[in-house]
Structure 1
Amino acid sequence: MFDNEHISEAIAWRHDLHRHPELGFQENRTSELIAGLLEGWGWQVHRGLARTGVVARLGEGRPFIALRADIDALPIEEATGLDYASIHPGKMHACGHDGHTAMLLLAARKIAADGVRSGTVTLIFQPAEENDGGARVMVEEGLFREFSCDVVYGIHNWPGLPPGRLVARDSEMMAAFAVFEIVIEGRGGHAAMPEQSDGVVAAASRMTGALQELPARRLSPLVPGVVSVTQIHTGSAWNICPDRAVLRGTARWFSQEAGDVLEARLAEVAQGIAAAHGCRATVDYQRRYPATINSAPEAALARQLGGTMGLNTAEAGPSMASEDFAFMLNERRGAYIWLGAGRDGDNPGLHSAKFDFNDAILPTGAEFWVRLARQATGD
């Protein structure tokens, strides 16, 4: 479907993006590169949604299909040692969004060259997927009001699966998630006289274990849920009992009921344990992303097309990780797809400082996008 020259150019775009990572809502150079290429191929390009988002269209009238790629990087110091490693300290493409972008650009070039004879193809290059909810912002700013859409699809590389695998479940793909911060406060004092201070550190320690046990004790074993304490900040010296500790972490779930239970019980447990140690706890709990739930017909179409490409589309379980593509699926039918991207030997996972997108799957993902666009528009 793609000649070697075009594949090589797409890999070069990917390496360029990898070398110049930009964090959420700051993807100015990335957006300029994307928009310039698309305009050169004849796409109608629109900029400015969610600050750095790029939306491009080709065709006219129904059916309307949208294909989405995320474009932001992560605040991680790269440790790959690659000759195209990040030139920006503390920033890197550790999740493969550089690959997702290049994949959709390669497909866009082919779609433009072939032309869209019926219907409309919309490309969504979305900023700020990592934690900042760029998809939510695009939707709130009128993505689907300004650009009619019947169905929307997204692809993520998945290093936990081998190349040649494609997963599109009929329902749950990724979990909802919330972040929390718990501030524990009490009297501090000398470590030699602990009776004259409150048990701030003891409360933080017991709270950590109790919170992580919440899903096992408050949810049915058949209902997925995870609470992880990921940060504990307290103390300043060997011989001081501190008067303050801060715990931070995440909660994850699929069903709305499970999310409500975890939120309510987390606050109860935190405040109860703090009180038992003579302290008080203030809980800040913020729900960030809803669960990513596919529409069954669109997921089935993805598997069917994957099968025509010789991909293994066998069922796989959902992930407790989260994805802001969920905000788009809350508005329109569609499917989120994992494309196997594992490597032989050392195979760093997503968000690792040693992660690098597997260029070998780039033409596979691009071909899938082209076939999907053709199928959806009746070409």
Structure 2
Amino acid sequence: MSQRNTPDALAPLVPAMTAWRRDIHAHPELGFEETRTAALVAAELRAAGIAVTEGIAGTGVVGTITGRPGNRSIGLRADMDALAMQEVTGADYASTVPGKMHACGHDGHTAMLLGAAKHLAANRDGFSGTVHLIFQPAEESLGGAMRMIEEGLFDRFPVDAVYGLHNLPGLPLGTIAVPKGPVLASSDTWEVVFTGRGSHGAKPHQGTDATLAAAQFITALHTIVSRDLDPLRTAVASVGHMAAGSARAPNVIPSEVHLAGTARALAAPERDLLERRIGEIAQGCAAMLNVACAYRYIRRLPPTVNHAAQAAIAHRAAVLGLGAENARDDHPPITAGEDFAEMLLARPGVYAWLGTGDPPHPDGQHHNPHFDFVDAALAHGAAWWCSVVEAELGQEAV
């Protein structure tokens, strides 16, 4: 176990990381609005003597640290945005902005990468080559990763590999889990509109009932996973929105029913199956009940899939920095989505989990108003990032 990049070695930075994390938590900013957060990040990087580039994807920041002479470079990525939710934690540092909160731990991710940056900048003799610190805006469904890539992220800051880290409540505190292969699912949206002829609720024979088609569709939708999909594969199709008629006119059968939902898969064949079968089922239900159907499938995020070589390096980094007892390579995939997937399509790399133990509140999971990042994990996450640099660049020839 390396002594240079352990949680104990990062301990002197814990007060600063905690202060940054809580300050960001108290001042949450939504995607592409992270001006205050980005300014804090840029100022702290410059204070450590790190070269800073601002304004990528609007509010994105990249810090660059050069170690001993070397030809290789890697990227370390943290996300900065908050969610449009009302916080109820009651913490002293709770959100001061109504309707906005850090309910996914991006405040912790940003603070950990800042801590790692300070440590790496003070120990440049520990690696050869270049480390690019990527502070990304708008991870939460707004495409910040893709926008950074489109604006030349990896052209301006070339990397041989890129690494991301996300907190995970329920995983033992300080554990780093590096899944092999799929980590997270694709995240797509589908929309269906059934259009019939509205009628009086007492005279349904005078119209064609779009609500009945919608009801049949909702029931049939769930046969995709139970009957079309290999039982050993994974996919999800869920209805998240339904709108029809008026609560003030319950005696009217509406002419239109709007439905929308999400579709998730861990691999391309299952993703293709979902897109095809949702449309076929919608059209079939419409034809059966003599109504029209409009269908749209919107591909948003691809699956997040770790690259084998970098997964081995990331696991070795966890052993180096946190000890073998805190390193796992067997964590199962999760059907949430993450736009770091776009970076893994552009460059080899890894998305890892940082265990934060049991949440402070029983309901304090991601995207819950009770969520709060566990500060006790800050040193562990920062140490892993530094250990990744050691594992990737520590052996580079001078």
**TM-score range for the pair, normalised by the shorter chain length:** over 0.9
Q: Calculate the TM-score normalised by the size of structure 1.
A: 0.96
Alignment RMSD (CA, Å) = 1.6
2:4 corresponds to: none
> What are the equivalent positions in structure 2 for 1:1-379 lying under 5 Å apart?
1-2=8-9, 6-59=13-66, 61-116=70-125, 118-236=128-246, 237-308=249-320, 309-310=322-323, 311-343=326-358, 346-347=361-362, 348-378=364-394
1:4-41 Cα distance to aligned partner (Å, 9 max, x none): 55311211111111111111111111111111110111
For residues 120 and 14 of structure 1, do their structure 2 counterparts lie closer, same or farther at Cα, with a shift above 3 Å needed? same
Deviates further, 35-44 or 298-307? 298-307
The unaligned stretches of length 5 or more in structure 2 are 1-7
Classify the secondary structure of the residue corresponding to 2:346.
coil
**What displacement does 1:314 show?**
4.9
Classify the secondary structure of the residue corresponding to 2:315.
helix
**What displacement does 1:160 show?**
3.0
CA distance in 2, matches of 1:97, 1:212: 33
- Which amino acid in the other structure matches residue 179 of structure 2? R
**What displacement does 1:374 show?**
2.4
- Which amino acid in the other structure matches residue 172 of structure 2? P
CA distance in 2, matches of 1:111, 1:312: 22
**What displacement does 1:197 show?**
2.5
CA distance in 2, matches of 1:87, 1:297: 43
What is the percentage of aligned positions where both structures have the same residue? 46
- Which amino acid in the other structure matches residue 289 of structure 2? H
Classify the secondary structure of the residue corresponding to 1:330.
helix
**What displacement does 1:375 show?**
2.6
CA distance in 1, matches of 2:394, 2:195: 63
1:89-120 Cα distance to aligned partner (Å, 9 max, x none): 22111111111000101111111112255200
CA distance in 1, matches of 2:319, 2:139: 29
- Which amino acid in the other structure matches residue 346 of structure 1? H
**What displacement does 1:277 show?**
2.1
Q: Provide the aligned length of Structure 1 versus Structure 2.
A: 379
**What displacement does 1:64 show?**
0.3
1:234-293 Cα distance to aligned partner (Å, 9 max, x none): 120222211111111111112212211111111111121122222212112110111111
1:289-316 Cα distance to aligned partner (Å, 9 max, x none): 1111111121112222222313141512
Q: Calculate the TM-score normalised by the size of structure 2.
A: 0.91
CA distance in 2, matches of 1:92, 1:200: 39
**What displacement does 1:212 show?**
2.5
- Which amino acid in the other structure matches residue 92 of structure 2? D
The unaligned stretches of length 5 or more in structure 1 are none
Classify the secondary structure of the residue corresponding to 2:71.
coil
**What displacement does 1:198 show?**
2.1
Deviates further, 276-285 or 227-236? 276-285
For residues 3 and 100 of structure 1, do their structure 2 counterparts lie closer, same or farther at Cα, with a shift above 3 Å needed? closer
CA distance in 2, matches of 1:164, 1:13: 20
Report if the CA contact (8 A) 2:180-2:329 is conserved: no
**What displacement does 1:345 show?**
6.4
Classify the secondary structure of the residue corresponding to 1:57.
strand
**What displacement does 1:377 show?**
1.8
**What displacement does 1:171 show?**
0.9
**What displacement does 1:143 show?**
0.8
CA distance in 2, matches of 1:127, 1:58: 21
1:310-363 Cα distance to aligned partner (Å, 9 max, x none): 314151211111111111111111110011113266342111111111111011
Classify the secondary structure of the residue corresponding to 2:85.
coil
**What displacement does 1:208 show?**
1.5
1:174-231 Cα distance to aligned partner (Å, 9 max, x none): 1112111111211112222222222222222221121132122222112211111111
Classify the secondary structure of the residue corresponding to 2:317.
helix
CA distance in 1, matches of 2:70, 2:359: 45
